Structure formats: C-alpha cells, structure tokens
C-alpha cells in the first residue's frame, strides 16, 4: 500500500500487482496477447456478476459511460422511464434518460430511505413504462436498495431494469443470473480496486433483443451496446482503441477477486462494514442510511455541526487518510467512507482511531479508544 490511504468511495487503493500490470511494454489493441488477456477479462467479468446467461461488456470509459450506454441503447425517444431517486446518482439517471429523449417520471425518496417496493409496484401498475432505473448502492449517502424485490416487481409489470451497481458489485451480494435484471453496471475504480477507466456491464438476452428490435436507431456511436456486442462476442475487430493499460490492470484486479472468491469477498466487506458502523456508533456519529438498508461498501455519517470540512482535512493532512465530503445538499453535513476493494482490518483500525483523535482534538467528547474497541469483535472474525 502507498503512503496515502484512500477511503473515499472510489477510486480506491491499488494492489502492487495491479499497478504493475500497467507498466508493461505497450501492446497494440489487436495484439493477440492483449486480445487473449481481454477474453480472460470477459470471463472474469462473468464470474464477478455471476452472469452466465447474458453477455458481459467491458468498455473503456468511466461508470457514467456504462450508465449512458445502457440508457441510449435501450431507451428510444418518447419511451416512458421511471427513475428511482434515492440520492445524487439516482438523479444522474434522470438527467441521462431526459437527454436521450425519454418521458421521465421520478420517484423521490427521503435521504437515507430505501426505494419502497410497494410504492414502485403501485406506480408501475398505473402506467406503461418501458424501463426503470435503480441505484443499488447510492454512494452519496451509503444506502443499499433492495434490488431483489425491486427487480421482481419490475418483471411482474414487464418493465426493463437498468441497475447502477457501480458501488456494489464485488462487495455486496449480487447474482445477475438469479436476479433477473436486464442491465447491471459497475466500473473499475470501485470495489474491483482497479484504476478508473473501464465500465463493466452484465446485459440480459432480453435487453440484447430489445437493442436489435428498436424502431429507431441507437443515437450514439461509441455508447452503442449493439455495436460493442460484436467485440464482446469476438474480441479482435477494431471499433475504437481501448485503454489497454487500464484493461490489463483490470484483468489483474479481477484475478485477485477470483483468487479471494466472490463469497469470501462479500463476507469480508460485510465484516469491515459492521466494524465501521460499530466504531461510528461508539463515537456517537449517526449513519445516514436507515437501519437494514446500509451498504457494506460505503458509509455516510453525519458530523458534529460545522465540522465536516475540518475533520476531513485533518484526516487527510495529518494522517494521509482520505474520506469524502457529502455531495449536493449533503455537503458540509456528512462525510463518506469507502470501505471496499483491498480494505482490511489494518486500514479500518487506522481510520477509526484517527477519526476518534480528530474528534477529540475538536473538543468533541468521545471516549478514548471507544471506536476501535467497538469494532474489534467484528474484526476478530477476519482472522
Ligand atoms: C453509484 C454511482 N454511480 C455512478 C457513478 C459514476 O461513475 P464515474 O464517476 O466512474 O463515471 C458513481 C461514481 O462515484 C457512483 O458512485
């Protein structure tokens, strides 16, 4: 690990072997060695999403490219789309669907409250929607939405599901084949712990058929999933030059996930998240997401009045530990911890203890040693 400890909700710390994968001699985009590596990456992407029924996509670009490619490929101008707004990234789908000409309805949920399946059931039964957009883990507040229930309801109404699982895949339980969703999106710099620059998607056969059977052409060249499908099925044609170094690093990071085992990785993320939540509780810091709907990858917590910026700066300047400020309306009110990727007990203890010191240095009355003490029963499970 480097001197700096990234505990922002992405990008996250890179393992040495992942960073080293980027420093190999440049290969051409049609070099058989790169293409072989990419084919393995696609297979590892199947493993990551548990996607053996649909098609894996890996496209150079950030997570937003994955979101936009999904929207522009599936939605035609004039289609009705229901967007679930459980925070900043839920709203991004509203913007994307609007930009691409959909008729968008939005269901807003209070900060930290999950998208209630019964509300969505009622809404979908009243209108004829083509698709629903869902944020699996809302990185802006740490909320985990109940995607199994939400997808079940969407399927009951025969509505396509587009799921932003950018901050969840690899750390929160997700089985694409069992879930029955149409498109699930993540990207390289979150739980996968590769550098930023690749969007990864699992796309159902049903969605692929919908791309082929549109009434109007897909209004994008680069973000056209029907076009990229050919490359994913047979890597070797030229469509656009991929970010070769990033993809080589992604390959290495995915190999590490396979070596750890997906279920072990979910378990590690749950234990670390439990430890962090217990530590925050001991420091009297309340968590933004409601109980029962808290992500195992990201935690947002309210800071004592007016102290968000100071605490964040102290952690960064004194300890080189990076946490993130709130986004949008939550700026200045909360801080967010990204506890995913390669985070272990060591980093968790470092964060909780320095957070406690920071609070005490601002004369906030917290008991010395309480955060780590509260976290220990969980962390011991990781031995
Ligand atoms: C839940 C979620 N969706 C989408 C994005 C957008 O990803 P990117 O910044 O890689 O475009 C992010 C980034 O933080 C995110 O957390």
In the chain, residues under CATH classification 3.40.640.10 are: 16-259
Q: Which of 90, 133, 134, 166 has the most ligand 1 atoms within 8 A of CB, as the residue to mutate?
A: 166
Please give the distance, rounded to the nearest whole angstrom, from the Cα atom of residue 329 to the centre of ligand 1. Answer: 17
DSSP string for 288-327: SSPTT-B-SSEEEEEPSTT-HHHHHHHHHHHH-EE-EE--
In the chain, residues under CATH classification 3.90.1150.10 are: 262-382
Q: Answer for the pair 3, 318: CB distance below 8 angstroms, yes or no.
A: no
Question: Fold for domain 16-259?
Answer: 3.40.640
pLDDT recorded at residue 3:
84
**Number of other CB atoms surrounding residue 205 within 10 Å:** 11
Pocket lining for ligand 1, CB < 6 angstroms: 9-10, 62-64, 89, 135, 139, 164, 166-167, 187
* β-bridge mates for residue 200, sequence order: 58, 186
* Cα 373 to Cα 307: distance, rounded to the nearest angstrom: 24
CA nearest neighbour of 12 among 351, 361, 308, 283? 351
Q: Answer for the pair 174, 237: CB distance below 8 angstroms, yes or no.
A: no
Please give the distance, rounded to the nearest whole angstrom, from the Cα atom of residue 22 to the centre of ligand 1. Answer: 22
Q: Is the pTM of this model over 0.75?
A: yes
User: Could you identify the atom of ligand 1 that is nearest to the CA of residue 62?
Assistant: 10
pLDDT recorded at residue 2:
53
- CA Rg, the chain, in Å? 21
Enclosing H/E stretch for 106: strand 103-108
Buried b (16+ CB within 10 A) or exposed e, 56-82: bbbbbbbbbbbbbbbbbbbbbeebbbb
Please give the distance, rounded to the nearest whole angstrom, from the Cα atom of residue 324 to the centre of ligand 1. Answer: 14
CA nearest neighbour of 250 among 45, 6, 7? 45
pLDDT recorded at residue 46:
98
For the domain spanning 262-382, the CATH number is 3.90.1150.10
Q: Answer for the pair 7, 347: CB distance below 8 angstroms, yes or no.
A: yes
CA nearest neighbour of 170 among 336, 37, 338? 338
**Number of other CB atoms surrounding residue 311 within 10 Å:** 21
CA nearest neighbour of 295 among 335, 332, 336? 336
Per-residue pLDDT of the chain (383 residues), as tens digits, is 458 999 999 999 999 999 999 999 999 999 999 999 999 999 999 999 999 999 999 999 999 999 999 999 999 999 999 999 999 999 999 999 999 999 999 999 999 999 999 999 999 999 999 999 999 999 999 999 999 999 999 999 999 999 999 999 999 999 999 999 999 999 999 999 999 999 999 999 999 999 999 999 999 999 999 999 999 999 999 999 999 999 999 999 999 999 999 999 999 999 999 999 999 999 999 999 999 999 999 999 999 999 999 999 999 999 999 999 999 999 999 999 999 999 999 999 999 999 999 999 999 999 999 999 999 999 999 97
Please give the distance, rounded to the nearest whole angstrom, from the Cα atom of residue 33 to the centre of ligand 1. Answer: 30
């Amino acid at each position: 690990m480097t001197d700096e400890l990234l505990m922002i909700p992405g990008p996250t710390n890179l393992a040495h072997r992942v960073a080293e994968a980027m420093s190999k001699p440049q290969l051409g985009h049609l070099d058989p060695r790169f293409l072989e590596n990419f084919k393995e990456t696609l297979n590892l992407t199947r493993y990551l999403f548990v996607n053996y029924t649909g098609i894996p996509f890996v496209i150079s670009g950030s997570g937003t490219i994955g979101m936009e490619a999904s929207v522009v490929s599936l939605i035609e101008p004039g289609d009705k789309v229901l967007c679930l707004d459980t925070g900043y990234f839920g709203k991004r789908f509203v913007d994307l669907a609007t930009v691409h000409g959909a008729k968008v309805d939005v269901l807003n949920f209070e900060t930290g409250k999950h998208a209630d399946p019964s509300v969505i059931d009622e809404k979908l039964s009243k209108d004829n929607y083509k698709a629903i957009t869902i944020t699996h883990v809302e990185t802006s507040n740490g909320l985990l939405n109940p995607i199994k229930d939400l997808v079940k309801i969407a399927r009951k109404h025969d509505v396509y599901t587009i799921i932003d699982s950018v901050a969840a895949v690899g750390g929160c339980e997700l089985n694409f084949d069992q879930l029955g969703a149409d498109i699930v999106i993540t990207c390289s710099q979150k739980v996968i712990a590769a550098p930023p620059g690749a969007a990864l998607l699992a796309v159902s056969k049903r969605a692929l058929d919908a791309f082929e059977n549109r009434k109007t052409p897909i209004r994008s060249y680069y973000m056209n999933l029907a076009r990229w499908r050919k490359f994913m099925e047979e890597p070797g044609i030229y469509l656009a030059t991929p970010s070769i170094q990033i993809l080589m690093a992604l390959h290495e990071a995915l190999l590490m996930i396979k070596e750890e085992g997906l279920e072990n990785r979910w378990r590690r993320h749950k234990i670390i998240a439990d430890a962090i939540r217990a530590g925050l509780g001991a420091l009297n810091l309340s968590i933004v997401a409601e109980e029962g709907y808290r992500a195992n990858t990201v935690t947002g917590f309210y800071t004592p009045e007016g102290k968000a910026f100071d605490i964040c700066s102290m952690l960064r300047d004194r300890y080189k530990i990076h946490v993130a400020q709130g986004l949008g309306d939550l700026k200045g009110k909360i801080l967010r911890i990204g506890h995913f990727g390669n985070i272990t007990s060591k980093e968790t203890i470092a964060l909780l203890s320095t957070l406690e010191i920071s609070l005490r240095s601002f004369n906030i009355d917290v008991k010395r040693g309480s955060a780590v003490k509260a976290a220990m029963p969980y962390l011991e499970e990781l031995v």
